[in-house]
Amino acid sequence: MQERVLRAGKGQALRKIVFIGNCQAGALADVYRSCIAPCTEDFVSQIFAYGEEQIDTAARALLDAADVIVGQVFDYEQVPDPENIGPHVLLIRFPWVAAHFLWPSYNEAHPRNQAYWYLPSGPWPAQLGDSFLNRMIAEGVGAAEAAERYLRLDIASAARLERRYELIMDAQRLRDERSGTETADFIERHFRDEPLFVSPDHPGLSLFLHLARQVYAKLGATAADLARVETMVRKTPFPADELPIHPGVARHFGLRFWREDARYRHLRSGRFTAEEYYRRYMVYEWDEMIHEGLALLDAGRKAEGYDMLGKGLGRAPHHVLGLARFGYLLIERGQLVEAEAVAWRAAAIDASEPDSHAALGHLFAALKRHQEAAAAFRKALALEAGDASVWMALSVVLDRLGRTEEALAAAREAIRLNPFEPGWGEHVERLGRRIGSPALAPAG
C-alpha cells in the first residue's frame, strides 16, 4: 500500500483525490470528505460517470490534476480507462455492488415519472420503478386489482429467481476480482439476515461500511480514521427511499429480517406496506404539493412555500414533517395559538420517521414548550440514535429546563458522533464549567 504523504503547509491540501463512478462513488466521496479529510487535509472531488464517454472537459481536468483516482468497476467497463491517466496517479478500484435478485422487476421507471425542479430524479425513477406494475398501468388495470395480482404472483418461477441469483452473484465476484475487493462473499453471508440494500443499487449501512473500510484502507486510512467513520456514519448515506421486497422473493430466499407487515419508506411521505406502496405507485401518488412546499421553504421562498404547503396539507393532513414546518411559518407570522394547535395535532400522529419527530421537537422548542420538545427529540433518537444534530438540539432544550447534567451528557454524545461541527465545543465547555465537570470527557 502506498504510504500516506507527509502533510504540506498548514491549510494546504495534502492530496487531490477524485472519486469517479455512480452514486456509490459519490457516497464514498461524501463520507471520506466529512469523516477523514478534515484530519488528512486531502482535497476530495467526485465525478458521476459510467464510462469514458461521460467524462467531459471539466471532469477530465479534475482527473489530470489528481494525485489519487478512486474508480468504479462495472460489468463491461471501468472508469476511468487506465490508458487515459498519467503515470504519477495512484489508481484505486472498487466494485459496483448490487442485489437485483431481490427486485427482479427493477430498472424501469414509472411511465409518468418526470423531473421536477425540486426533485430532479422524479418520485419513481428506475431505482424505485417496477416493470410488472408498469404493465398493469399500460393495460389499464385498477390500483387495487394490480396490487392483488402482484402479491399473488409466483415470482420465484416467473423471474427464475435462483438462476438470476447465480448470475448476479457471479458478476459481483468478477467485479470484486477486477478491483481487488471483497463484497460478494459478504453479500452471500448476510443478505438473508439483514437488509444489505434499501433498493437495488443503494447499499444499506453494513454493506456500505464493509466496502468503505476496504476503499479507505487503500487510501491510507488509519485505524482511528476507520473508527471515526463507523462512529459518524450511523445510517446509509444513500437516499432513504426503500423499494418493497415482494413477499414471494422474501419467502424464496428465506429472508429472516423480512416481516409480513414490513413497511417501506418513500420520499418524506412516511412508510407503507407493500400493498399500500403498490397502490400508490399505480396512481402516481406522492404528496407532490407538500414536497414542493418544503422545497420552496428550503429555497427561502417563504410566501410561496406557505401557500403550497397549506394546499398540500389539505390533501395529506397527516404529514407530520409538513405540519411541523407549517407550524414554524405560523410562529414567524405571529400566529402562536394556531402554531401550537398544529404542533399538538402533529404530535398525536404516530409518525415512524425520526425526521418528523425532530422537526416537531424544533417546533415545540420555538414555542418554548421545552418539555414537549425534549420528548419529541427523544422519540427521534429512539428511531435514529446516531443523529448528532438531534442530540445537540436535545442538549439545548434540557439546558433550558435546568437539567444541566443531562444536557452535558447529550452534548458529549453529539460531539462523539460528529467531532467536527463548529461551535459545539463551546456549548459543551460552558455546561461543563457550570457543573464543574471536564467538558470534553467521553459520553457515558
204/181 Cα distance (integer angstroms): 18
Residue 178 lies in a domain: no
pLDDT in tens, 220-243: 999 999 999 999 999 999 998 999
Tell me which residue of 262, 383, 311, 225 sits closest to 361, measured CA to CA.
383
Sign (positive or negative) of CA dihedral 229, 218, 213, 24: positive
Nine cell digits for residue 175:
467485479
- pTM recorded for the entire structure: 0.87
Could you say which DSSP state residue 127 is in?
A: G
Task: Encode pLDDT of 117-147 as tens digits.
Answer: 999 999 999 999 999 999 999 999 999 999 9
In a domain, 85, yes or no: yes
Whether residue 217 is contained in a domain is answered as yes
Q: What is the pLDDT of residues 6-62, one digit of tens each?
A: 333 445 558 999 999 999 999 999 999 999 999 999 999 999 998 889 999 999 999
Structural domain for 41, as ranges: 1-96+202-226
Coil vs helix vs strand at 71: strand
| CATH number where 62 lies | 3.40.50
In a domain, 424, yes or no: no
Domain tally for the chain? 1
Mean pLDDT along residues 247-274? 93
Residue among 335, 328, 284 nearest 305 (CA) = 328
pLDDT one-digit tens code per residue, 323-360: 988 998 999 899 999 998 988 888 888 777 788 888 88
Please count the other Cβ atoms lying within 10 Å of the Cβ belonging to residue 271: 15
The answer to whether position 305 is within a domain reads: no
Position 13 scores a pLDDT of: 52
Looking at residue 85, the DSSP 8-state letter turns out to be: S
Indicate the burial class of 163 (C-beta count within 10 angstroms; 0-12, 13-18, 19 or more): exposed
Query: What pLDDT score was predicted for residue 3?
Result: 39
Count of other CB atoms within 10 angstroms of residue 342: 25
- Among the listed residues 43, 75, 414, the one whose alpha carbon sits nearest the alpha carbon of residue 219: 43
CA distance 173 to 271: 34
**Residue at 346 is within a domain:** no
Classify residue 249: in a domain, yes or no. no
Q: Long-range contact list for 188-195, CB < 8 A, 24+ apart?
A: 191/99, 191/102, 191/253, 191/255, 192/253, 192/254, 192/255, 192/256, 192/257, 193/256, 193/257, 194/257, 195/257
- 358-394 in b/e form (b: 16+ CB < 10 A) is bbbbbbbbbbebbebbbbbbebbbebeebbbebbbbb
pLDDT, one tens digit per residue, over 185-210 is: 999 999 999 999 999 999 999 999 99
Judge whether 147 lies within some domain. Answer: no
Distance, in Å, from the CA atom of 246 to the CA atom of 377, rounded to the nearest integer, reads 34
Q: Edge to edge, what strands does the sheet with 16-21 contain?
A: 43-48, 16-21, 68-73, 90-95
